[in-house]
Amino acid sequence: MPQPHAPTALLPATEDGIIRAAALLRQGGLVAMPTETVYGLAGDARCPQAVADIFAAKGRPAHNPLIVHVSGPEMAREIAQVDPRAEQVMRAFWPGALTLVLPLRAGHGLAPAVTAVLDSVALRMPAHPVAQRLLAAFGGPVAAPSANPSGRISPTTAAHVMAGLGGRIAAVLDGGACPVGVESTILGLTGARATLLREGGISKDALAAHLGQMPAPPGDGRITAPGQLASHYAPGAAVRLNAMRPRTGEVWIGFGPDCKGAEFNLSATGDLAEAAARLFATLHSADALGRPIAVAPVPDDGLGAAINDRLRRAAAPRGAT
């Protein structure tokens, strides 16, 4: 069991570091691992204590289920009911930034708290080589929500994880900066119509091309992915969106070549992939200045939809649900 408030080890992403991380997971310990989207707080998805410790370390409400990371489609089929639509998108987008919510299969073996006792489960095969090597060395399903305190900015470096969760988890496996930078797209496949539960690293147009139809918006207004809570990814400072210029005292985060004088620029050339990769690190850095934050408009196409989703949540009134 991880000792509360024990020092958190920083492990290099070497063979030895990965073997040590896998051993910690087998002991029920928690290890932050790099993925291509953001760092995940990994624990054995079959171990009730490890899963309880994930919720406790993040301060995450028990009704918000975790994503289970698998080594591939084979492991997914052991845990969930994988229909032809799911097979199709797994073939197209795994490994990668797509999470599928699927009906659980009998005998799935997961700790019930992972799914918040729902009859569905969120599954993802990460593309990051360090995550893949850790999953292979561990040999089982790994629960891993983003490795940040609940409701705060997601981590895209080992230093972000240390700043947020240091002393509360066994180790951080340092794989450098996460290349995609926003979380996975979550696609719900529990009903007749595929549903987009969260915008993310795979655009809905790319999904539509493989599904043969646009995934439906969550629709009836019910919160089906609790990550949709309005206030999420929140910096300590207030955030103002669509700011063409800063007001006195504000830190201005620009986008594109027209934001001369901005203290930060998500992408000086207006490249959305670069902006996504830098989004959370820029919010972390801007927040550290302790002043209100203003963010320039970001176009809503492709990865821009996921960027704007995270920015709206960062700007939402705190404590909103």
Can you tell me the distance from the alpha carbon of 188 to that of 219, in angstroms, rounded to the nearest whole number?
12
Closest approach of Mg ion to the CB of residue 93, in Å? 20
* 166 binds ligand TXA, rule: CB under 6 A: no
Q: Which residues contact 223 (CB under 8 A, 6 or more apart)?
A: 229
| CB neighbourhood size of 221 (10 A) | 7
Tell me if residue 120 falls in helix, strand or coil.
strand
What is the β-pairing status of strands 40-44 and 98-103? unpaired
Q: Kindly tell me which residue out of 37, 71, 99, 146 binds Mg ion, with binding defined by CB under 5 A.
A: 146
The residues with which 173 forms a beta bridge, in sequence order, are: 11
Can you tell me the distance from the alpha carbon of 38 to that of 148, in angstroms, rounded to the nearest whole number?
10
* 121 binds ligand TXA, rule: CB under 6 A: yes
Question: What DSSP string runs through 21-60?
Answer: HHHHHHTT--EEE--SSS-EEEEETT-HHHHHHHHHHHT-
Q: Kindly tell me which residue out of 71, 115, 157, 282 binds ligand TXA, with binding defined by CB under 6 A.
A: 115
Can you tell me the distance from the alpha carbon of 140 to that of 138, in angstroms, rounded to the nearest whole number?
6
Q: Kindly tell me which residue out of 43, 95, 145, 175 binds ligand TXA, with binding defined by CB under 6 A.
A: 145
Closest approach of ligand TXA to the CB of residue 217, in Å? 14
Candidates 49-57, 60-68, 82-90, 304-312: pick the segment binding ligand TXA (CB under 6 A).
Answer: 60-68
Q: Which residues contact 21 (CB under 8 A, 6 or more apart)?
A: 11, 31, 33, 134, 137, 171, 173
Q: Kindly tell me which residue out of 67, 211, 307, 315 binds ligand TXA, with binding defined by CB under 6 A.
A: 67
* 146 binds ligand TXA, rule: CB under 6 A: yes
* 45 binds ligand TXA, rule: CB under 6 A: no
Compare residues 122 and 243 and give the one whose CB is closer to ligand TXA: 122
Residue closest to Mg ion (Cβ):
146
Q: Kindly tell me which residue out of 2, 17, 28, 40 binds ligand TXA, with binding defined by CB under 6 A.
A: 40
Are the CB atoms for 186 and 62 separated by under 8 Å? no
Candidates 74-82, 141-149, 159-167, 212-220: pick the segment binding Mg ion (CB under 5 A).
Answer: 141-149
* 194 binds ligand TXA, rule: CB under 6 A: no
Tokens of 166: 């240091």
* 81 binds ligand TXA, rule: CB under 6 A: no
Can you tell me the distance from the alpha carbon of 25 to that of 35, in angstroms, rounded to the nearest whole number?
16
* 153 binds ligand TXA, rule: CB under 6 A: no
* 227 binds ligand TXA, rule: CB under 6 A: yes
Can you tell me the distance from the alpha carbon of 113 to that of 240, in angstroms, rounded to the nearest whole number?
36
Are the CB atoms for 113 and 51 separated by under 8 Å? yes
Compare residues 38 and 243 and give the one whose CB is closer to ligand TXA: 38
Compare residues 22 and 66 and give the one whose CB is closer to ligand TXA: 66
Closest approach of Mg ion to the CB of residue 83, in Å? 27
Rounded (10°) CA dihedral 239, 244, 247, 253: 50
Residues near Mg ion (CB under 5 A): 146
Residues near ligand TXA (CB under 6 A): 35, 37-38, 40, 64-67, 99, 101, 115, 118, 120-122, 124, 144-146, 183-184, 186, 197-198, 224-227
